Structures are given as structure tokens and as C-alpha cells.
Amino acid sequence: MIPVVDIDIKEEEIKAVKEVVKSKFLIEGKHARAFEKKFSDFTEIKYTTTVVNGTCALHLALVALDIGPRDEVITTPYTFIASSNSILFTGSIPVFVDVDKETYNIDPEKIEEKITERTKAIMPVHIFGNPCDMGAIKDIAEDRNLVIIEDCAQGHGASIKGKHVGNFGEIGCFSFYGTKNLIGGEGGAVVTNNKDLNDKIKSIKNHGRSPEGGYAHYSIGFNYRMTDMAAAIMNVQMNRADEILTKRHYNGDKYRKHLNEIEGLMLQKILPSHKHSDYIMAPLVIKKEIRQEQIIEYLKSKNIGSRSIYSILSYQQPAYLDLSKWHLSQVIDYPDYSRTSCPNAEYIATKHFELPMVTSLTDDSIEYIVEKLQEFFRTN
């Protein structure tokens, strides 16, 4: 079976973790500091703060921007549930805006109609690593005095006009979860170009302490520290980032070249001057008669790993049917999503299928996958 997901870990990462364990200094320390520097150099964003995972990164960003009860945050329903959950953690309300049918990303043209006097922020998600239309989103945010938190969890290596994602809002949030382009097992980063905001982020992530340490706590913060074991893996991954991302972009380009020619398939549209991170390759079956499960089953029967992800939109999640049941003590008016409708997101949810997109993918494997898809659409 050609796997949908495969983990790119070499001897160097194993050696790095062993050294940290042997040193007995497992907590956040010099490896985390070194990683922060490397990640800032990589993204060309001034300040990086390591955190324990991408969900905490988003939560921390919202708290640092003073978003809380009674506020509303505009986001997309076609994403991993962590995006909107992080909003709920602060007591603010996720307001879902439909996506563009071609890019799968939040449609800037539909944002304006969802802005109310409570709206404080927009959280665009660069889904699958496809950069959102940040120019249009920034224009709206500036015009309506809103802040932007970019969910870059899937965006390592994605850019717009050569600028890495995470550079376009007040804060960018990354995940280094074990299947992402760059991995730490678990791990996350909060990035910003604003020094004051960075100081606040660094303090809140460490129980409101001063970045210099000590036992004075200046705010009620959290423990969102990354371990030095994860940071040590991340440092090796950063040294290998060029190699890893070049291979992913190579795979992505090869898929796009061949799959674009198949009638019945539609690839995620990448806007001009935008560079995809090539984290996930998930085309849509646009032939009406063909069901998502049918193509996934067909690919599996040919030993090609495939699956659907986010077939349940965030507002359709069972957990969101009655939010008052959960421990969201700060939420004041629980939203009722039963009438929320995002037709484009609903379409994509039922029509996409994921293809293998891993660094170990060979030219022969991609050619085999393309051939099998051509065969499928010729005969169905």
C-alpha cells in the first residue's frame, strides 16, 4: 500500500533526542531557544515562541490579543476542529464564513456580511497548505479594525510573493504535530513581528512569568512549554527543511501537472504568486455520479492509500450541536449552529479525497497513482 502519510525521521533526529535524554535536561531549554531562532530565520518573522502544540498556539494568540467572552472571531468551517475550538476556549464565538469552492479557503467576499459590532478578529486557515487571499483579508481587517490570527498549522513552506505565511496577520500559529511537513511529535510555534505582543505571548505561555524567569507572575497564564526533546527533533527538521520541502514541492508539481488533465477531477486552486506547502493533496471528484467513497475504495483496491478528511465541517461536529454541555465556562451566549449553512464547504467536504503526499513517494509511485486515476475516470 502506498501510504497517505509517512513520517520522515532519520538517524539524526533519533541521535538528537537520545542526547537530550542523556543530558537529563528534558524541559524547555537551549534546544527550544535554538529552534526559535531557526524558525524565525526560516519564516523571516522576527519573533518565534515555542509551545506545546498548534492548538495551544492558537489559544495563546487569541488570549494575547485580548479576545474573550462576548467577542466573535470569523473563521472557516473547513478545517481541523482545533481552529474553532481555540476560539471557544477563550469564551468568544466562532462565526463561520463559507469557503471559495476552488481554493477551499475562507472566501473574503463573504466575510463582510458576517461582521458585527462584536467581531474582533479573523482567523484564516491556510488549508492543506494553500495560502489564503491575505491581501483581500488584510484590506477588510484594516477597514473594520480587526486583528488577524493566521492558522498556519499546515503551512510550513507556503508563501505569498515569497513571504512565508504567518507574516500577514498580527500573529501566526504553527503546528509540528507528527504528520505535518516539519514535525516534533507534538509541538507548536507562535510568531509575530510585534515585540510587545511577543513579550506578552512569552509571558502568558509560562504562567505569566517575566521572560527572565523568577517566581513573580504578572498575569494568569498557562503552561504551554515545549519539551527540549521535541525541540531537539525540530532543530534537526529545520536543518533538513530545505530537503523535506523541496521533495514535497516536487511531488506536488508532478501531481498537478498530470492530474490537471483528468476530466472529472478538480485540483485545489492556488492563487497567482502563492506557493502551496504541499502538505496535503486532496482533489475533488466533480463528476456528479461519482461518490467520494467510491474513489477512495477504488484507490485502496489498487494499493493506494486514500481517505477523506474534514468530511464533517466544524459547525456540523457532534460536539457543536449543543455547546452548553461542555466546560466552556466563559461562553456567555452559546451559539446555535443548526441553521449555519456554508454550501461550498459542504460540497468540498463530500467531494474531496486525499492522495499520498509524503517525502518517500517515488516518481514511479506518482506515475502509478496518476495512471490508476486516469483509468478510473475513463471507465466511470
Ligand X SMILES: Cc1ncc(COP(=O)(O)O)c(C=O)c1O
CB of 151 vs ligand X, minimal distance in Å? 5
Which amino acid appears at position 187 of this protein? G
Q: Is 130 in the site for ligand X (CB under 6 A)?
A: no
Query: Where does the chain show beta strands of DSSP type E?
Result: 47-51, 72-75, 93-96, 119-123, 147-151, 159-160, 163-164, 171-175, 188-192, 209-210, 213-217, 265-266, 274-275, 284-285
Rounded Cα–Cα distance for residues 174 and 164 (Å)? 12
Q: Is 121 in the site for ligand X (CB under 6 A)?
A: no
Q: Which is nearer to ligand X, 104 or 376 (CB)?
A: 104
User: x/- binding map, residues 14-53, to ligand X, per CB under 6 A?
Assistant: ---------------------------------------x
Q: Which is nearer to ligand X, 84 or 192 (CB)?
A: 84
Q: Residue count at the site for ligand X (CB under 6 A)?
A: 14
Question: Could you give the C-alpha distances from 116 to 70, 120, 154, in angstroms and in order?
Answer: 11, 9, 29
CA angle 260, 261, 265 (to 5 degrees): 65
Q: Is 227 in the site for ligand X (CB under 6 A)?
A: no
Applying the rule CB under 6 A, the residues between 152 and 211 that interact with ligand X are: 153-154, 175, 177, 188
User: x/- binding map, residues 83-102, to ligand X, per CB under 6 A?
Assistant: x-------------------
Q: Which is nearer to ligand X, 82 or 115 (CB)?
A: 82
Supply 295's cell numbers.
474513489
Q: Which stretch binds ligand X (CB under 6 A): 36-44, 150-158, 233-241, 370-378?
A: 150-158
Phi and psi at residue 5, to the nearest 5°:
-130, 140
CB of 57 vs ligand X, minimal distance in Å? 7
| Alpha-carbon radius of gyration of the chain | 21
Give the interface with ligand X as residue ranges (CB under 6 A).
53-55, 79-80, 82-83, 125, 151, 153-154, 175, 177, 188
